[in-house]
Chains A and B, each alone.
Chain A
Amino acid sequence: MNWDIARKNFYRQGMRAFLNVLVTALSIISLIFMLSLLNGFQAQATRNLVATDVGGGHYRAPGFDILSPTEWEDHTLKAAESLLRLSDKDKAEVLIQQGQLYPNRRLYPVQIRGVSMEQSLLNLPLDNLRKYGKQIEDVIPVVVGVKMARKAHLKKGDILTLKWRDRSGAVDARDILIVDVGDMVNPRVDDGVVWLRLDHLRSMTDRQGEVSWVAVREYMGPVEGFEFQTVDALMADLLALLKQDRINSKILWTILMILVCTSVFNTQILNIFKRQKEIGTLMALGMEPMRIVRIFTLEGALAALWALVFAVLLGVPFFIWFQGVGFDVTHLSEASFPIRETIYPDYQPKEIFYSLLIVVFLVVMAAWIPVKKIIRLDPTLALRGRAIT
């Protein structure tokens, strides 16, 4: 019977009940949307970093530190036989040297990256380099990323001077030709990086067969002379950023939840305030206060359940639509995140389920807590609508 009463009370409130349900439903949708967008952002950032740079880990020359450019020349090695035996889709040999570019007579320190043209492990826009032969001709063909091009005012077809040091420490310089400006996605392999064919860079620096690292699809055990850097170690900076993002998202989640609960709490308080005479009447008719509490809590729970239904009805089409159009984050591509201009939400069923469970629990609690006041109401005051003022 409690259920019947609660159901009638709820449905017959009409627009008031509908608006409460709508607010809660929209909050649930926002919650799932925010979580999924963050998931999508993280997944894409991680995927792009892996696809363009990290692979399944690096076998690096011991002591090589990407943050110490002056020591790059000191940490190169001939690629180990066991690594060379890997197929081109399972490995990418990379040689990194420092250099200086002279765009418009300015000096621009750069990272010269040579990568083997045969590899298909890393997804890099270097097709235009493949057209060139192993031998360097009049100019050295290079590719730069869009970010690098914008910063250094470079464009496809530009010829400018590149300076570097060879194995013996001798400084050399030659003209380079920008054969393409590619979308590198990952700022780590774009900003300040000039991409060359590996054979060209080896020949320029007299480092035949040498690498700074070999990116591999997966760890293949210890390799003599090399030290293995795991994916986690290589993405430590990004993972730390994402971890911070998770904390921020939890704070946002908490704020959203507080808003949802405040809305429900407020609705229930208002309900009790506005319906004191009704509560007094129920008491006068002989309904026990605890039973009234149960009925009002059930009404709150019903609102939560309908909010879930509405969240599904409104949310699913929205999420499907959004999955198609994505979210424009051009401003983030400009920063240090390895993501494209658009990110797409990544809906995690388990996360959604637990979020909904928590929302329902909190909403029911928010519905129940103010209703407890009813137990303490004086029926004679409630009947006159003066029990709560």
Chain B
Amino acid sequence: MDKKLITLNEVSKVFKVGEENFTALHEVSLEIDSGAFMSFVGPSGSGKTTLLNLIGGLDVPTTGNIFFKERGLSSMSREQMAEYRRENIGFIFQTYNLLPVYSVYENVLFPLLLNGDKEKDVRDRVMENVAKVGLTDQFKKRPAQLSGGQCQRVAIARALVKDPLIILADEPTANLDTENSLQILELMRQLNQQYQAAVIFSTHDEKVTRYVRREVKLEDGRVVSDKNNVNGTA
């Protein structure tokens, strides 16, 4: 099986800020394998989130190409891009981005409904994922009734429930205290090993970098280092 999941070929992204052009990424080239557990690290404005958004198909590069397996993302229509995200990508956001009027159970169920599953067919699968993040007792609660750590767990369960090939986690521990951060990271490591989904963090949290197997450092939109086995956990 081909291990190469994502390939970035000289990807640049330029944003227009007022009258000025701001280059968020400069000709970044990377390859990401399936089952990766890696992070993009760097200071604010270094291009981490932009890179994550491009891989996740939420944005398109100004120049260069991104391939998912052999398929170019740039040539996809909006509908195809939505399908790509729906079927392959699980997002975890810094601010959780849970659907506020839905319960824990419904939030986790939602991606499966989007994929066309019937609730009665996937009920057990949803509850299993809720259980994996330790929220079985809270499954009827809405996001507003949960703590930040619990919300992030829901977001993880939501990202994992559809068995995506890639999980993109944008600063997932930024709003959490140390204890919750470590719990979340440990959980994600376990899930990565269990599900074999590639997990890509964007972070400047050192706690995260202690967990990942590969670390790509970014500065001013350029890759300045790309280290494998950073923690000796290959």
Contacts and interface: CB of A to CB of B under 8 A. Distances in A.
Contact of A281 (B83, B87, B89, B99): B99
B101 interface: yes
Interface residues of B, number: 29
Nearest to A290: B79
Contacts of A8: 101-102, 106
Nearest to A4: B113
B174 interface: no
Interface string A356-389: 0000000000000000000000111001000000
B221 interface: no
B58 interface: yes
A288 B79 contact: yes
Contacts of A379: 58-59
B102 A285 contact: no
Given A12-B101, A277-B97, A283 B58 contact: yes
Contact of A288 (B82, B97, B110, B113): B82
A286 B99 contact: no
B58 A286 contact: no
Given A283-B58, A383-B58, A288 B78 contact: yes
A280 interface: yes
Nearest to A382: B58
B86 A286 contact: yes
A380 B59 contact: yes
Interface in B81-95: 82-87, 89, 91, 93, 95
A348 interface: no
B114 A284 contact: no
- Secondary structure call for the A interface: helix
B100 interface: yes
A1 interface: yes
A1 to B, nearest CB: 6
Nearest to B113: A1
A287 interface: yes
A286 B111 contact: yes
Interface in A265-290: 277-278, 280-289
A296 B220 CA distance: 39
Contacts of A283: 58, 82, 85
B47 interface: no
Interface string A176-200: 0000000000000000000000000
B102 to A, nearest CB: 7
Interface string A279-318: 0111111111100000000000000000000000000000
A168 interface: no
A286 B159 CA distance: 12
B148 to A, nearest CB: 16
Contacts of B99: 278, 281-282
Given A277-B95, A383-B93, A383-B97, A285 B59 contact: no
Contact of B97 (A1, A284, A286, A380): A284
- Find the residue from A12, A281, A282 having the highest chain B CB count within 10 A: A281
A120 interface: no
A380 B58 contact: yes
B149 interface: no
Given A277-B95, A383-B97, A284 B110 contact: no
A13 B86 CA distance: 26
Interface in A1-56: 1, 8-9, 12-13
B207 to A, nearest CB: 23
A79 to B, nearest CB: 80
Given A13-B101, A277-B97, A285 B111 contact: yes
Contact of A286 (B87, B100, B101): B87
Interface string B95-119: 1011111100010001101110000
Contacts of A13: 101
A8 B106 CA distance: 11
B61 interface: no
Contacts of A280: 97
A23 B115 CA distance: 37
B78 A289 contact: yes
Contacts of A287: 82, 86, 114
Nearest to B90: A285
Given A284-B58, A379-B59, 15 more contacts: A1-B113, A8-B101, A278-B99, A281-B97, A283-B58, A283-B85, A284-B85, A284-B89, A284-B93, A285-B110, A286-B87, A287-B86, A288-B78, A289-B78, A380-B58
8 contacts: A9-B101, A277-B97, A280-B97, A284-B97, A286-B82, A286-B86, A379-B59, A380-B58
Q: Which 6 A-B pairs have the closest CB atoms?
A: A286-B86, A12-B101, A286-B85, A281-B97, A379-B58, A288-B82
